[in-house]
Amino acid sequence: MSAAVQPMSIRVKHSTKESSQTFFIPCLRSSSFLSIKQQISEALGQNAITSSPNQSPSNIQLLLKIETGTKELPDLGTISDHMIENDSVMYAAFRKEGGSWEEIGGD
């Protein structure tokens, strides 16, 4: 089986001062970051407590922590484009009212 079609899983953490949640997202190395954001949005839509129109894919930002801070992952980019491995951790920030992005919390 080609490495691009081997199933893998990534963790997407959403942490704020008030709460923290982790999404375990099944994906392929060829999966786009937009498809990952869609899976997060779908999971949040199934949760009556957190369901909100602000959690559509366009209002979710995926980030990687790097040595110099964070790196935003583009919607059309893929897991393999950014050399993300199985069980890697990404971070999600949601757009707040007014258009700014949440600060991502710690691990």
Beta-bridge partners for 13: 22, 91
Lowest mean pLDDT among 10-14, 55-59, 84-88: 55-59
The average pLDDT across 8-19 equals 86
Question: Residue 48: what pLDDT?
Answer: 47
Find, among 95, 94, 91, 96, the residue nearest to 107 by Cα. 91
pLDDT tens-digit map of 58-87: 889 999 988 888 899 999 999 999 989 999
CATH number of the structural domain 7-94 = 3.10.20.90
Q: Which tokens is 4 given? A: 């691009």
Question: What is the pLDDT, as a whole number, of residue 67?
Answer: 85
> What tokens were used for 72?
């935003």
Mean pLDDT for 53-58 is 75
Cα–Cα distance for residue pair 53/45, rounded to 1 Å: 9
> What's the CA gap between 34 and 62, in Å, rounded?
9
Q: How far apart are CA 37 and CA 44, in angstroms?
A: 11
Confidence band, pLDDT 50/70/90 cuts, at residue 1: low
Ordered by start, the domain boundaries in the chain are 7-94
Which residue stretches of 3-95 are H helix? 33-45
